[in-house]
Structure 1
Amino acid sequence: MIVDILKQNKDSWDKVAHHFNGIDALPSFGPFTQSEEELNLFGHPTNQKVLDIGCGSGHSLLYMAEKGASELWGVDLSETQIEQAKETLKDFAAQLYCAPMEQDIGLPKVYFDTVYSIYAIGWTTDLKSTFELIYSYLKPGGNFIFSWDHPLYVHLKSQDGQIFLDGSYQDEGSITYARFKGEEAPVTIPKRKMNTYINELIKAGFTIECVIESDVSTNFDSIKEEVSDRYYSLYKARRFPTTLIIKAKKMNELTGVHLNNFS
Structure 2
Amino acid sequence: MARYFEDSRSADRYARFRPQYPGCLLDKIKDVVSGRDGGTADKNGHGETASIEDLRVVDVGCGAGGSTFFLAEAGFKEICGVDASQAQINEAKKALEKKDDDVKQRVEFRIVDCNAGLPFDRDSVDVVIVAAAMHWLEPVQFYAHVNDILRAGGYVIAFSYGFSQFQDEDLQRPFDNLSQKTLEKYWEPEIVHTFTHYKHILEPYDTCKRFTLDWNYRVTLSELINFMSSWTAYPIYCGQHPDNTILEDFEKEVRKVLQSRHQHGTTPERNGSADSSDDDPTVEFKFPLFGFAGRRPCMTSTNKLDGCVRLDVVDKAGQ
Which residue does 2:200 correspond to in 1? 196
The alpha carbon displacement at 1:253 in A equals: 1.6
Aligned length: 211
Which residue does 1:19 correspond to in 2? 13
Q: Paired residue for 1:52, among 59, 64, 71? A: 59
Which residue does 2:288 correspond to in 1? 242
Q: 1:74 to 1:161 in 2, by over 3 A?
A: closer
Which residue does 1:205 correspond to in 2? 205
Alpha-carbon separation, structure 1, partners of 2:108 and 2:29: 27
Alpha-carbon separation, structure 2, partners of 1:141 and 1:114: 9
2:117 aligned with 1:117: no
Q: 1:219 to 1:160 in 2, by over 3 A?
A: closer
Q: Which runs of 5+ in 1 are unaligned?
A: 167-173, 178-186, 258-263
Which residue does 1:36 correspond to in 2? 26
Task: Please tell me the root mean square deviation across aligned C-alpha atoms, in Å.
Answer: 4.0
The alpha carbon displacement at 1:251 in A equals: 0.9
Amino acid at match of 2:135: G
Is the contact made by 2:155 and 2:293 (CA closer than 8 Å) also made in structure 1?
yes
Q: 1:95 to 1:35 in 2, by over 3 A?
A: closer
Give CA deviations for 1:67-125 in whole Å, capped at 9, x if unaligned: 4433221211221221122233342254422233212153323211111122222222x
Which residue does 2:41 correspond to in 1? none
* Structure label with greater radius of gyration: 2
Amino acid at match of 1:107: F
TM-score normalised by structure 1 residue count: 0.63
Q: Which structure: greater helix fraction? A: 2
Query: 1:1-263 maps to which residues of 2 (within 5 A)?
Result: 6-7=2-3, 9-12=4-7, 14-21=8-15, 23-26=18-21, 28=22, 34-37=24-27, 40-41=30-31, 42-43=33-34, 44-90=51-97, 91-92=104-105, 94-124=107-137, 126-150=138-162, 160=170, 176-177=186-187, 189-192=190-193, 193=196, 194-197=198-201, 200-201=202-203, 204-209=204-209, 211-217=210-216, 224=269, 225-226=272-273, 234-235=284-285, 237=286, 242-254=288-300
Q: 1:191 to 1:45 in 2, by over 3 A?
A: same
TM-score normalised by structure 2 residue count: 0.53
Q: Which runs of 5+ in 2 are unaligned?
A: 35-50, 98-103, 178-183, 220-267, 276-282, 302-306, 309-319
Alpha-carbon separation, structure 2, partners of 1:213 and 1:86: 31
Give CA deviations for 1:214-251 in whole Å, capped at 9, x if unaligned: 1244999xx752279xxxx744x3xxx62212111111
Alpha-carbon separation, structure 1, partners of 2:157 and 2:81: 14
Identity among equivalent pairs (%)? 16
Is the contact made by 1:114 and 1:143 (CA closer than 8 Å) also made in structure 2?
yes
Q: Which structure: greater strand fraction? A: 1
Secondary structure of the corresponding residue to residue 200 of structure 2: helix
Which residue does 2:224 correspond to in 1? none
